[in-house]
Chains A and B, each alone.
Chain A
Amino acid sequence: MIEFPIPEKNKRPLFALVDCNQFYVSCERVFQPYLEGKAVGVLSNNDGCLVALSPELKKLGVTRGMPAFKIKPLLKQHEIYLFSSNYTLYGDMSSRVMRVLSSFTSDIEIYSIDEAFLSFRGMENIDLIEYAQTIRQTVLKWTGIPVSIGIAPSKTLAKIANRVAKTYKGYNGVFNITDHPKTEKILSSIALEDVWGIGRKYSKKMKKIGLANAADLLYLENEWVKKNFTVVGLRTVLELKGYPCIELEQVTNNKKQIVSSRSFGKLCSNYEDIEQAMSYFCTTATERLRSQKSVARQLLVYVCTNPFRNDPQYANFMSGVLSDYSAYTPDFISLGKSMLKRIFKPNYLYKKCGIMISDIILEKNIQPNLFTLPYNEQSKSSIMQCIDTINTKYGTNKVFFASNGTKNNWSMKRDILSPQFTTCWAELPIAKD
């Protein structure tokens, strides 16, 4: 049996999970103050279903993931404001929130667009609740985004503490579960599938053997957990018991794969439309590739129809390799085209197309080759640099490849998009008389 000594006070890790409250809705509200206190929802790509909703909208019986057409009848009876996903705005607001958080500590892991783990190690002597409140108020004042903070000796518990902070108004957005006498009671209110790290598969298996909630996991023998739920399950159980097993990940690794794909706004059967979409995906993916100063060699292209319809179904993919490492957009577009031509079948209604770039290495690590200059010494790389510079200065896609087309029949449906309040001079918020 392995023993886990409890680290001495002040030496043990302490984590805070900062999570933005209904982040997408909050972003919309910062620049459209009339939405305060109103029922607000944000729709997913193609305006398909609800991805974020305000508490006021929840009260009307609407839930996350509900398809947009189901909400339509409610729109007539209630004052509801729906928006398409404005990723440019959410991305900018996210980086502002993270920047404010970074001013409190350099030990920060940006976990998602609206969540970050901070390390509070060595701070046990200060009033952590008060400190977290200062963080919370500063983020709100500086950015307009409300956040909740959960403090705990492990990341898994910090997630749960955050949930408590969000759920019970009395805590004013901050909850510290460290050495809390009611820890077990709190855990008993957390469903297994809501525990960080327990997937749907594990929670099903756990329920089958009679485990009901997070508190039940506290009494399991470590060895037994390891045998039945692997090391991954054991890690989660130990984290719940208060032994930190997952550290703060601060280094942002360069991506090993870059995926660019999207569902079409409407079904496509036309080869040209799909080729344009594929070409556009290659453009954005290679832009990302260049921004991390990398080159790549492998490209995968896939297409698929909509499995939720009764039409004939088809899905296929193909993968190919370039002769040399490159970040030159046309290299990927022409390889992609040759593969798309081979997997495309006419007379199907396609719903989605995508590409994935892999075998990525840093530009400076290219192995020299006798016959060709490495990518960064070719004129190709200066052409791309020039295009990137223009597009950064004058806006995305000001200069693009003709193969992307100009009609974009495939593009996303975003009918109720709010302005790019923070990233476009023509769409700034307006102050009236």
Chain B
Amino acid sequence: MYKIKPIKMAINNNSPWQMPFIGSLVPAGFPSPAQDYIEAVLDLNELLIQHPAATYFVRVEGYSMVDSGINPNDILIVDRSLEASDGKVIIAVLDGEFTVKRLHIDKNGNYFLVPENADYKPIKVTDEMGFSIWGVVTNVIHKL
């Protein structure tokens, strides 16, 4: 005989995404040896967010990064505390607007914002562009 124990969402906790770690079937009559561990939960924040104070979410518009798995309407997890280096996907400010691109720094120290879609061309950063690096993208949340 098995009794279904309802899944308790830990919504009282500050973290909004918590799921119980141990399964929900408990044999009636015998205490489950796993019961003592039921409090342990997997926290998506722990997996995806290293620096909570520096982490922001940004929504994607447009197709310039589709080949790297960044699609329109996806949510990017952006960590401002990380150093943007060559090869990192970044949120940059260009002429007062946010854009997501891969950063390429060449041997001469020139910056390029590289799209990952053959239909788009890389942008060479010049002094007049009002360019700055806003944060480094660490993860993409994509709904299937």
* A interface size (C-beta, 8 A): 26
Residue of A nearest to B75 (CB): A428
Chain B hits for A141, CB < 8 A: 54, 80-81
A430 interface neighbour in B16, B54, B98, B134, Cβ under 8 Å: B98
Interface residue A100 (Cβ < 8 Å from any Cβ of B): yes
**Chain B residues numbered 87-106 whose CB sits less than 8 Å from any CB in chain A:** 91, 93, 95-100
CB-based contact B11/A33 at 8 Å: no
Q: A410-433 toward B: CB 8 Å interface, digit per residue (1/0)?
A: 000000000001100100111111
CB-based contact B16/A393 at 8 Å: yes
Q: How far is the CA of A144 from the CA of B80 in the complex (A)?
A: 8
CB-based contact A430/B57 at 8 Å: no
Q: A143-B80, A392-B11 are in contact. Are A431 and B54 (CB under 8 A)?
A: no
CB-based contact A143/B53 at 8 Å: yes
Interface residue B124 (Cβ < 8 Å from any Cβ of A): no
Q: A34-B96, A143-B80 are in contact. Are A431 and B61 (CB under 8 A)?
A: yes
Interface residue A184 (Cβ < 8 Å from any Cβ of B): no
Chain A hits for B19, CB < 8 A: none
Interface residue A389 (Cβ < 8 Å from any Cβ of B): yes
Chain B hits for A95, CB < 8 A: 53
B59 interface neighbour in A34, A96, A428, Cβ under 8 Å: A428
A429 interface neighbour in B56, B64, B81, Cβ under 8 Å: B56
**Chain B residues numbered 53-74 whose CB sits less than 8 Å from any CB in chain A:** 53-54, 56-64
Chain B interface size range: 20 to 34
Interface residue A308 (Cβ < 8 Å from any Cβ of B): no
Interface residue A64 (Cβ < 8 Å from any Cβ of B): no
- Interface majority SS (helix, strand, loop, mixed), chain B: mixed
Report the minimal beta-carbon distance from A32 to chain B, rounded to whole angstroms: 8
Chain A hits for B114, CB < 8 A: none
B120 interface neighbour in A35, A431, A433, Cβ under 8 Å: A433
Chain A hits for B95, CB < 8 A: 34
**Chain A residues numbered 376-408 whose CB sits less than 8 Å from any CB in chain B:** 389, 392-393
Report the minimal beta-carbon distance from A106 to chain B, rounded to whole angstroms: 15
Chain B hits for A100, CB < 8 A: 53-54
Q: A142-B51, A142-B81, A393-B16 are in contact. Are A430 and B61 (CB under 8 A)?
A: yes
Residue of A nearest to B91 (CB): A431
Interface residue B12 (Cβ < 8 Å from any Cβ of A): yes
Report the minimal beta-carbon distance from A31 to chain B, rounded to whole angstroms: 8
CB-based contact A428/B58 at 8 Å: yes
**Chain A residues numbered 63-107 whose CB sits less than 8 Å from any CB in chain B:** 95-97, 99-100, 103
Report the minimal beta-carbon distance from B49 to chain A, rounded to whole angstroms: 12
Chain A hits for B27, CB < 8 A: none
Q: How far is the CA of A36 from the CA of B52 in the complex (A)?
A: 25
B61 interface neighbour in A36, A96, A392, A432, Cβ under 8 Å: A432
Chain B hits for A392, CB < 8 A: 11-12
CB-based contact A33/B61 at 8 Å: no
Q: How far is the CA of A28 from the CA of B26 in the complex (A)?
A: 51
B54 interface neighbour in A34, A35, A143, A433, Cβ under 8 Å: A143
CB-based contact B51/A33 at 8 Å: no
Report the minimal beta-carbon distance from B95 to chain A, rounded to whole angstroms: 8
Report the minimal beta-carbon distance from A124 to chain B, rounded to whole angstroms: 28
CB-based contact B62/A432 at 8 Å: yes
Q: How far is the CA of A99 from the CA of B53 in the complex (A)?
A: 6
Q: A138-159 toward B: CB 8 Å interface, digit per residue (1/0)?
A: 0001111000000000000000
Q: How far is the CA of A34 from the CA of B132 in the complex (A)?
A: 12
Report the minimal beta-carbon distance from B91 to chain A, rounded to whole angstroms: 6
CB-based contact A433/B96 at 8 Å: no
Give B residues with C-beta under 8 Å from A. 11-12, 16, 51-54, 56-64, 75-76, 80-81, 91, 93, 95-100, 115, 120, 130, 132, 134
Q: List 10 A-B contacts (CB under 8 A).
A: A95-B53, A141-B54, A142-B54, A142-B81, A143-B80, A422-B56, A428-B58, A432-B98, A432-B99, A433-B120
Given contacts A422-B56, A425-B75, A429-B58, 5 further A-B contacts (CB under 8 A): A35-B96, A100-B54, A143-B54, A422-B57, A431-B91
Per CB-CB distance, the 3 closest pairs between chain A and chain B, nearest first, are A34-B96, A433-B62, A142-B54
